[in-house]
């Protein structure tokens, strides 16, 4: 446990009186990609441990990202020399770094094949690394950030905003442009020096909402009976199948999450725009549709088309004796993809001691990491364990940070991954860093670590279990399909989908879920130094924000990945600048070609499993929603209903069509 109260930590959900920013003398240094001869790929970065300071309110805080320029003459000379010879990362002096922020901002670089299209926008690590590099790079004069519709959570936005503010500490300008957005996009733009919109922009500042999707009525119409076993009244992952409306428990959680998001948004907008909180609430209720109203109220800097904004940037940053000469030339700029080639070593920002970052992103499954065009990547237990064992065996790695961005998944997979992390923690310091969501199985992984760090708006907890079997008996009767089972053993037919559970089978099925829940709560209680009863009050499938979780002892610190890395360095007694390496499991040649199998031997997610496997006790799911929409695992469950209904036809195209239709 750490005694520091990090910046951005409030006293209670929605109370932001202690968010005072502090200034320290710490130096934050960026990542760089390199090849390693072993069985994993690595990416390195360097960060110094920051110092403790007093906030204006008198609360001890720990600042994660404080810019300090390179002052050593020898390092400056070395940097200039490397600029000259750096062919891969060559950037013209005075360039504007242009980046687009859009979509889900994945917490790791998405897996791509030789035949797949490269992403149009950077991942979260690429975006934040580029901002840190650009702050230290004398060749970069400004950053132009185009903000497009976002599908990520507020925790990732907190991480990006922290890096935007770090870049601005270097004295360089950060300009944001958005033409279509809502509260998330505007929340992100708060950390820019200037915000521009076109005349006909759609800026939907209308407040916050969340929705639940329920398909029980649809299932009844087609003759499918869901048999859901959940432990914990707040565990709502199975509600999509079992209910026709939102439960009071789910409504309570969603309201709690939205209230904290709303309060944080109101506080930050009021602080940045120098308005009262009542003014911000009024603009959300009024929801203006004309950009002139936003400009007159001081909510945006100015109104102009992107081409006009580019001309403005040319006048400010292009070289030339006259304005006319500046405008004739194209804007001197560098794209985000090219700039990711710039190495930390080129910027003279690299140390020797090593901290490893291991990412656990996506639904937790058995087998290898996978990719799915609908739900994104999955975190396979075999791939994760392989990477953790690399960190255990490496004398080069002094401490490890586990970066979790997962709603949960298969309980067996989470448990074997947890066990491997416990073995790692016996040999080296291990810190957990939570991104948007580290719930259920995601929290299961984090509780194996020495210290847990979460963002204020991270969604975590959800300590509970849900499992489901779908009986297709009525559907089969309607269409005249007959399947007869021959079995030996009382529970041999537990997995069959052509009839519902018997009373004995249902009891057996429930026992498996109860065992998994008690094991989960017991391990969580031991990890957090609580009794079983104390932890059980916080469990029951309840989702908490990072701030709520800290107040209840489920996490230790409020902050981002950089704070977790700094804590790891502190525990490992690393005194130099250090090097951060990102460990990943190997990808085979089939992965490069994009040949992903859909089988239980190498699952691409829960959707790759059969309904029978979902009913097995060892396949119990530990997952929950992200607070605003149905998460990938829930979409998997819904899609499997219709896949299984036509599985006996063995028509792959029809299965895919039905699956895609009901997951959208």
Whole-Å CA distances, 191 to 231, 430, 473: 42, 31, 56
> How many Cα atoms sit within 13 Å of 138 on the Cβ side?
12
Q: What distance in Å separates the CA atoms of residue 363 and residue 376, rounded to the nearest whole number? A: 9
Neighbours of 57 (CB within 10 A): 11
Q: What distance in Å separates the CA atoms of residue 647 and residue 566, rounded to the nearest whole number? A: 51
Phi-psi region of 175 (alpha: psi -120 to 50; beta: other; left: phi over 0): beta
- Bridge partners of 432, per DSSP, are 402, 452
- Of 237, 149, 147, which is closest to residue 192 (Cα–Cα)? 147
Decide: 174 and 168 in contact? Cβ < 8 Å.
yes
β pairing state of 370-372 and 430-439: unpaired
β pairing state of 397-406 and 354-361: parallel
Supply φ then ψ for residue 232, to 5 degrees: 115, 120
Decide: 462 and 548 in contact? Cβ < 8 Å.
no
DSSP 168: H
Residue-wise over 93-103: b if at least 16 C-beta within 10 A, else e? eebbbbbbbbe
Q: What distance in Å separates the CA atoms of residue 211 and residue 433, rounded to the nearest whole number? A: 28
- Bridge partners of 286, per DSSP, are none
> How many Cα atoms sit within 13 Å of 240 on the Cβ side?
25
Which DSSP string corresponds to 634-656?
HHHHHHHHHHHHTGGGT-HHHHH
Catalytic residue among 371, 440, 628, 644: 440
Q: What distance in Å separates the CA atoms of residue 86 and residue 81, rounded to the nearest whole number? A: 9
Q: What distance in Å separates the CA atoms of residue 423 and residue 426, rounded to the nearest whole number? A: 5
DSSP 243: -
Question: Any catalytic annotation for residue 102?
Answer: no
Written as six digits, the tokens of 159 are: 């991480």
If residue 149 lies in a helix (H) or strand (E), which one and from where to where? strand 140-150
> How many Cα atoms sit within 13 Å of 265 on the Cβ side?
25
Write down the H helix ranges in 114-181: 124-136, 154-169
Contacts of 414-417 with CB under 8 Å at 24 or more apart are 414/364, 414/381, 414/441, 414/444, 414/445, 414/622, 415/444, 415/519, 416/381, 416/385, 417/360, 417/364, 417/381, 417/384, 417/385, 417/388, 417/444, 417/445
Whole-Å CA distances, 399 to 42, 92, 220, 427: 15, 37, 52, 9
Written as six digits, the tokens of 470 are: 């779908």
Neighbours of 171 (CB within 10 A): 9
- Bridge partners of 376, per DSSP, are 372
Q: What distance in Å separates the CA atoms of residue 583 and residue 256, rounded to the nearest whole number? A: 36
> How many Cα atoms sit within 13 Å of 501 on the Cβ side?
20
- Bridge partners of 52, per DSSP, are 62
Decide: 355 and 398 in contact? Cβ < 8 Å.
yes
Neighbours of 508 (CB within 10 A): 15
Neighbours of 261 (CB within 10 A): 24
- Of 492, 405, 478, which is closest to residue 443 (Cα–Cα)? 405
Catalytic residues: 440
């Amino acid at each position: 446990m750490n005694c520091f109260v990090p910046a951005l930590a409030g006293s209670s959900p929605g109370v932001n009186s202690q968010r005072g920013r502090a200034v320290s003398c710490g130096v934050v240094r960026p990542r760089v990609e390199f090849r390693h001869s072993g069985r994993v790929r690595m990416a390195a970065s360097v960060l110094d441990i920051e110092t403790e300071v007093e906030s204006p309110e008198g609360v001890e805080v720990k600042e994660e990202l404080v810019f300090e320029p390179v002052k050593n003459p020898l390092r400056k000379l070395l940097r200039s020399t490397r600029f000259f010879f750096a062919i891969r990362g060559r950037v013209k002096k005075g360039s504007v770094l242009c980046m687009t922020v859009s979509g889900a901002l994945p917490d790791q670089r998405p897996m791509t094949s030789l035949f797949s299209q490269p992403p149009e926008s950077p991942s979260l690590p690429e975006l934040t690394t580029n901002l840190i590099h650009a702050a230290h790079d004398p060749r970069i004069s400004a950053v132009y950030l185009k903000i497009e519709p976002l599908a990520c959570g507020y925790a990732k936005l907190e991480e990006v905003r922290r890096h935007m503010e770090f870049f601005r500490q270097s004295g360089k300008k950060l300009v944001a442009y958005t033409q279509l957005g809502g509260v998330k996009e505007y929340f992100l733009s708060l950390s820019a020096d200037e915000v521009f919109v076109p005349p006909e922009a759609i800026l939907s500042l209308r407040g916050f909402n969340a929705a639940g999707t329920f398909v029980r009525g649809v299932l009844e119409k087609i003759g499918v009976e869901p048999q859901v076993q959940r432990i914990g009244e707040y565990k709502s992952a199975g509600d999509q199948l079992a209910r026709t409306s939102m439960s009071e428990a789910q409504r309570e959680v969603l309201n709690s999450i939205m209230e904290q998001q709303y309060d944080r948004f109101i506080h930050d907008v009021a602080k940045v725009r120098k308005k009262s909180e009542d003014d911000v609430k009024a603009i959300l209720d009024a929801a203006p549709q004309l950009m002139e109203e936003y400009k007159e109220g001081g909510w945006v800097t100015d109104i102009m088309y992107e081409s006009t904004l580019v001309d403005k940037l040319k006048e400010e940053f292009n070289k030339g004796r006259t304005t006319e000469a500046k405008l004739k030339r194209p804007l001197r700029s560098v794209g985000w993809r090219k700039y990711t080639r710039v190495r930390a070593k080129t910027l003279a920002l690299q140390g020797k001691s090593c901290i490893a970052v291991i990412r656990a992103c996506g639904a937790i499954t058995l087998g290898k990491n996978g990719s799915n065009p609908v739900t994104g990547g999955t975190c396979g237990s075999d791939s994760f364990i392989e990477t953790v064992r690399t960190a255990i065996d490496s004398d080069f790695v002094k401490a490890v940070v586990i970066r979790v961005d997962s709603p949960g998944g298969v309980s067996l997979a989470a448990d074997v991954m947890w066990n491997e992390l416990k073995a790692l923690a016996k040999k080296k310091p291990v810190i957990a860093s939570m991104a948007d969501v580290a719930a259920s199985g995601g929290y299961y992984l984090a509780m194996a670590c020495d210290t847990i760090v979460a963002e204020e708006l991270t969604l975590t907890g959800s300590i509970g279990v849900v499992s489901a079997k779908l009986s297709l008996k009525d559907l089969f009767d309607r269409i005249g399909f007959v399947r007869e089972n021959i079995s030996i053993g009382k529970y041999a037919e537990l997995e069959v989908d052509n009839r519902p559970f018997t009373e004995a089978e249902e009891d057996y099925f429930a026992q498996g879920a109860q065992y998994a829940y008690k094991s989960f709560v017991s391990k969580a209680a031991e990890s957090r130094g609580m009794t079983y009863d104390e932890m059980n009050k916080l469990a029951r499938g309840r989702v908490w924000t990072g701030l709520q979780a800290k107040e209840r002892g489920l996490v230790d610190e409020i902050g981002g990945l950089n704070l977790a890395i700094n804590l790891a360095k502190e525990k490992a007694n690393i005194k130099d600048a250090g090097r951060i390496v990102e460990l990943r499991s190997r990808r085979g040649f089939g992965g490069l070609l994009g040949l992903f199998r859909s089988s239980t031997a190498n699952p691409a997610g829960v959707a790759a499993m059969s309904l029978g496997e979902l009913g097995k006790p060892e396949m119990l799911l530990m997952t929950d929603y992200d607070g605003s929409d149905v998460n990938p695992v829930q979409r998997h469950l819904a899609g499997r209903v219709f896949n299984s209904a036509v599985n006996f036809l063995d028509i792959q195209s029809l299965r895919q069509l039905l699956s895609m239709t009901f997951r959208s």
